[in-house]
Amino acid sequence: MAEWSNALVLKTSVLQGTGGSNPSFSAKIKTMTDYQQSIENSFRILTGQATIETICIALTLHFQGEDVPDVFPIFFIEPDAIPDLDQIDTMIDHFEFYEEYEKCAWLSDYKKKL
Protein backbone atom coordinates (compact mmCIF):
# COMPACT_ATOMS: atom_id res chain seq x y z
CA MET A 1 0.00 0.00 0.00
CA ALA A 2 1.27 3.48 -0.82
CA GLU A 3 2.39 5.77 1.93
CA TRP A 4 -0.43 8.32 2.00
CA SER A 5 1.58 10.77 4.06
CA ASN A 6 4.33 10.83 1.43
CA ALA A 7 2.02 11.34 -1.56
CA LEU A 8 2.34 14.33 -3.86
CA VAL A 9 -0.07 17.07 -2.81
CA LEU A 10 -1.46 20.37 -3.99
CA LYS A 11 0.41 23.52 -3.15
CA THR A 12 -1.46 26.42 -1.62
CA SER A 13 -2.91 29.19 -3.74
CA VAL A 14 -5.02 32.27 -3.23
CA LEU A 15 -8.66 31.84 -4.09
CA GLN A 16 -10.78 34.57 -5.60
CA GLY A 17 -14.13 34.25 -3.84
CA THR A 18 -14.55 31.20 -1.65
CA GLY A 19 -18.33 30.84 -1.74
CA GLY A 20 -19.19 33.07 1.20
CA SER A 21 -18.99 32.11 4.84
CA ASN A 22 -19.53 28.42 4.10
CA PRO A 23 -17.35 27.51 1.10
CA SER A 24 -17.49 24.10 -0.53
CA PHE A 25 -14.77 21.62 0.32
CA SER A 26 -13.27 21.96 -3.18
CA ALA A 27 -13.10 25.75 -2.70
CA LYS A 28 -11.69 25.35 0.81
CA ILE A 29 -8.79 23.11 -0.23
CA LYS A 30 -7.49 25.80 -2.57
CA THR A 31 -6.43 27.96 0.37
CA MET A 32 -5.14 25.26 2.74
CA THR A 33 -1.55 24.43 3.48
CA ASP A 34 -0.54 20.80 3.05
CA TYR A 35 -0.71 20.25 6.82
CA GLN A 36 -4.19 21.79 7.10
CA GLN A 37 -5.36 19.77 4.13
CA SER A 38 -4.03 16.54 5.62
CA ILE A 39 -5.88 17.08 8.90
CA GLU A 40 -9.11 18.13 7.15
CA ASN A 41 -8.95 15.11 4.84
CA SER A 42 -8.41 12.74 7.76
CA PHE A 43 -11.24 14.35 9.73
CA ARG A 44 -13.63 13.98 6.79
CA ILE A 45 -12.69 10.30 6.44
CA LEU A 46 -13.05 9.63 10.21
CA THR A 47 -16.48 11.26 10.36
CA GLY A 48 -17.75 9.57 7.20
CA GLN A 49 -18.26 12.96 5.49
CA ALA A 50 -16.09 11.88 2.59
CA THR A 51 -14.38 8.95 0.97
CA ILE A 52 -11.00 8.87 -0.69
CA GLU A 53 -12.83 9.08 -4.01
CA THR A 54 -14.76 12.24 -3.11
CA ILE A 55 -11.60 13.89 -1.83
CA CYS A 56 -9.87 13.04 -5.12
CA ILE A 57 -12.79 14.56 -7.04
CA ALA A 58 -12.46 17.77 -4.99
CA LEU A 59 -8.78 17.91 -5.92
CA THR A 60 -9.53 17.55 -9.63
CA LEU A 61 -12.09 20.38 -9.36
CA HIS A 62 -9.20 22.56 -8.21
CA PHE A 63 -7.65 22.14 -11.66
CA GLN A 64 -10.87 22.69 -13.61
CA GLY A 65 -10.00 24.04 -17.05
CA GLU A 66 -6.32 23.22 -16.63
CA ASP A 67 -4.23 20.16 -17.34
CA VAL A 68 -4.73 17.92 -14.33
CA PRO A 69 -1.38 16.76 -12.97
CA ASP A 70 -0.99 13.52 -11.07
CA VAL A 71 -1.97 14.70 -7.61
CA PHE A 72 -2.96 12.62 -4.66
CA PRO A 73 -4.62 13.71 -1.45
CA ILE A 74 -2.54 13.85 1.68
CA PHE A 75 -3.78 12.45 4.98
CA PHE A 76 -2.68 13.09 8.55
CA ILE A 77 -3.88 9.57 9.44
CA GLU A 78 -3.85 6.83 6.83
CA PRO A 79 -7.46 6.33 5.72
CA ASP A 80 -7.65 2.67 6.73
CA ALA A 81 -5.76 3.07 10.03
CA ILE A 82 -7.18 3.46 13.51
CA PRO A 83 -5.78 6.71 14.91
CA ASP A 84 -3.86 6.76 18.15
CA LEU A 85 -4.62 9.17 20.99
CA ASP A 86 -1.71 11.47 20.15
CA GLN A 87 -2.97 11.89 16.59
CA ILE A 88 -6.46 12.75 17.84
CA ASP A 89 -4.99 15.25 20.32
CA THR A 90 -2.97 16.89 17.54
CA MET A 91 -6.10 17.19 15.41
CA ILE A 92 -8.02 18.70 18.34
CA ASP A 93 -5.22 21.24 18.92
CA HIS A 94 -5.31 22.15 15.23
CA PHE A 95 -9.07 22.69 15.18
CA GLU A 96 -8.95 24.64 18.47
CA PHE A 97 -6.43 26.99 16.89
CA TYR A 98 -8.83 27.63 14.00
CA GLU A 99 -11.80 27.84 16.41
CA GLU A 100 -13.58 24.89 14.81
CA TYR A 101 -15.01 23.70 18.10
CA GLU A 102 -17.65 21.38 16.63
CA LYS A 103 -14.83 19.33 15.14
CA CYS A 104 -13.01 19.36 18.48
CA ALA A 105 -16.13 18.06 20.21
CA TRP A 106 -16.58 15.28 17.66
CA LEU A 107 -12.94 14.24 18.03
CA SER A 108 -13.17 14.31 21.84
CA ASP A 109 -16.19 11.98 21.71
CA TYR A 110 -14.40 9.75 19.20
CA LYS A 111 -11.32 9.64 21.43
CA LYS A 112 -13.42 8.39 24.38
CA LYS A 113 -14.54 5.43 22.26
CA LEU A 114 -10.98 4.33 21.41
pLDDT band for 69, please (50, 70, 90 cuts).
low
Burial call 74-86: b when 16+ CB within 10 Å, e when fewer: bbbbebeeebeee
Give the global pTM: 0.67
- C-alpha to C-alpha distance for 31 and 102, rounded to whole angstroms: 21
Instruction: Express each pLDDT in 35-67 by its tens digit.
Output: 898 999 999 999 999 999 998 888 777 666 666
